[in-house]
Structure 1
Amino acid sequence: MTRGDMPASDRQRLRPLNVRQRLFATTLGLLVLGAGALASVVLWSFAHFFLASAEADLAARTHAIAETAAELLEHRDEARLRILVERYGAQEGIALRVLAPDGRLLATSQHDPREHTIDWTTIPGVAGALAGHEQSGTAKGTLGYDDRIYDTVPIARDGALLGVVRMSRSLAQLQAHTRETVFTVLVALTVILAVGSGFIAWFARGLGRPIQQMRDFAVALGRGELGTRLAIARPDELGELAAELNRMAERLGALEQERRSFLANASHELRTPVSNLRVTLQALDDGAGDDPELRARFLRTAVDETTRLGSLIQDLLDLGHLEAGAARLDRHDVPLRPVLERATRAIEGRALDRRVSLVLDLDEDLAVNIDPERIAQALLCVLDNALKFSPSGGLIEVVARRRGNYAEIAVRDQGPGIADVDRPHVFEQFYTADRSRRRGGTGLGLAIARRIVDAHGGTITVADEQSPGATLVLRLPLAAALTV
């Protein structure tokens, strides 16, 4: 059975954890691991410290009693020895015994008759002490009672062994303290985990909510809802990301609006020559071709509209390639003059027909790093635009000068100029805000020129001049040999 065939409840259970849930689980796991490790270290340190302290205290007591017992044994005062043992062994959990050098029990604080039947040399620590070595450790009680710590010290005077003192202490108190400490630590750990879980849940929700909103925002953008915006104001990276996503949505909205405008304008521009062709051909089909003069005029119209349609399609293809980055540039260092002369020669015939003069003025040593074919195309678009708006008998000047690491090319005409309101839009496709600037052509020339120049790392702008006419300025990177 595939996932799609599963019941909804099963699919719900199989859904992966979202970011907030994963963040909560991971952080809580780290908290549990860290708190557990800390609690284990605390408990181990406590038990080790308490046991070491108990052993040190037991050893100190045993040595003190051994000093006193040595004097009593030296004077063979067993009665006072028994009083000494009963006094210091009376504390609960303490067992104190004094043994003779032969292992015989001389005094005990326990008063259990069974003690006199025990072979004390087999009791842990006794044999070593009878051999003259202090012994300590942990063992079962002498009579099989609870676990105990013990310390056994030999009693000697002038190199002679007088006996052995063995003191032991029950571990029940230590174990009780350990249990209390474990309980206290577990309660504290539970409180820490409860408070920590609440804080982690709040923290995960605070991070997860904006991420979820960004995901929903991205899904909405994918559906084409470009008017939505994120209402996330945070002084951190998530806030910066939200602001950047909003700016991206604004740019996408602008691009979408430009795309729709482009499609509408392209459809209109294509429809006009097609409609003219259809009307012309229909007229010829209806008999207009019987008149030779009328037929010739209609055929010229058909040829003109076909040429216009071909130019528009070619411009659209060029613009599409440039915007998609599919147009490859063959850049190398070349002199600028041949490129400018090639572009001016291309419109020279039309300029003569309209009695428009062309003037070329440039520094002789100018060389640029460009693709000559593409830059010639861009210059031709700019010159063609200048020729359209130049009056009969007017002048088009092309002036090229060096400006820093760039070659600056100014193309100036004597036409009606460009209104201030239209300046930001002259390089847009099919821009028609100022109808006086549309005198034939496809309306794509300057858009193509801008994209070619942009691809070279240069700029193309409208000069801010008050004189009659319009001036477009191209800035192209100089050849490597001329850069500073």
Structure 2
Amino acid sequence: MSFRKAMVAGALALILSLAVLIATSIWHHRLAARLLSRIEMAQHQALLVTRLEADIVARQLADRSQHVAMDQAIAVGMRAYLGSIENERHLIETDAESQAQQTHEWARALELAGIIGNSDRAGWRAARALSHDIAVREQGEAREAAQSIAQAQRWSGRLIGSVALFILLLCGATGWLLWRGIVAPIAALIDGTDRLRAERGPARVRLQGLHELQHLAAQFNDMAEAIETQVATRTTALEQANQWLRDIDGRRRLFLSKVSHELRTPVTVMRGEAEVALRRPENRAALEDALVHIVDSGQFLHRRLDDLLALAQAEDGALSVAPRPIDLALVLREAHAMVAPFARSSGIGLQLEAASDAVPIVGDPDRLRQALVAIIDNGIKFSPPEGMIRLDMRSDGDRARIAIRDDGPGVAEADLARIFDPYFQADVGRSRGGTGLGLALARWIAERHGGHLDAANHRMREGLCVSLTLPVVS
């Protein structure tokens, strides 16, 4: 039920009760006034008839000299009685019984008047008896009117009591409706609001009370659900952002530690070569050999710095690729020439088997050369002394494949799928140093050129084979 309907129904019931109460009071007042008038009239008529009876008795006892005066007094009393009966007609109820009683009373009065008008000794005795009977009847009528008043008072009291009880029940029902329909739902909404503000579980409220408050509760539940969903979504986003920041911070720390470790090795080599050469300044061959090692280490250090910077830019989205038509075989030969001095200084041989014909592709030669050098450097690091790095390129239809094989210990099968992840190093890689960034950078460059990197262990002998596959321009 809506609040408007409840208030209208309560107001109508209260107005109806008050109307019944007022109507009952007016009816009782009017009935009591009419009955009191009848009592007064009945008592007055009884008094007139009693006087008339007394005059008749006195007439019977008086001597003849007093008969005329007594007859006049009796006639006056009779006229007064008849007049009172005439005046009583407007007080009589309209029902048939009341009208019949009034007609009978009027007939008795006329009968008495007739007896008095033609009286002898026997007639006066009859008049006396009739007047006494009329007086008794009038007194009975007065008692009946008094009883009617008492009965009307009892009936009116019961009705007023019933109406008062109904009003009390209506007030109680109104209070219960206000509690159950308004106060309790509002209290539930306040509690739900407190729970929503304090984030104490689901802030749902039960649909109760009047229709308007049920609609308000439904709207509150929808709002609470939307807020909780938004809070959960933003909390998840915040947790993800915090985790992302923690990951970035972890990668930053790892990057710095890797950089420091990666740069320490070539710097130590260059410093050692220079110190050895300075101890024997007269040995020109030793000086030249030391300078060659320093240059090779410097080139390796330069490539490592380029790799680190490139991968950092790739993760931030700042590293770009400028593709153009190029010859992949030429890029491979250039990469071979770049790493050859470092391979020689490391005691590692390089074997190049490239196609003599051009292999046309669309790509960025600098980035592709950087990727190939990173893969070759990785093979040099894991190859044993006097080992061999084999560079092999084959073109098959719309694909060109460059395979780089080393003589190292290979990679555990469980780690093959992760060696291209940034900073990942297998147990052998951690024992030999490095950043774990070269292969990750190579994979990023390959994917930007529409190709992919694969890694597999040699089936016949130890070593790892890393394959770069790129689309060829027809």
Give TM-score scaled by structure 1 length. Answer: 0.47
* Rg larger in structure: 2
Give TM-score scaled by structure 2 length. Answer: 0.48
- Greater fraction of residues in helix: 2
- Greater fraction of residues in strand: 1
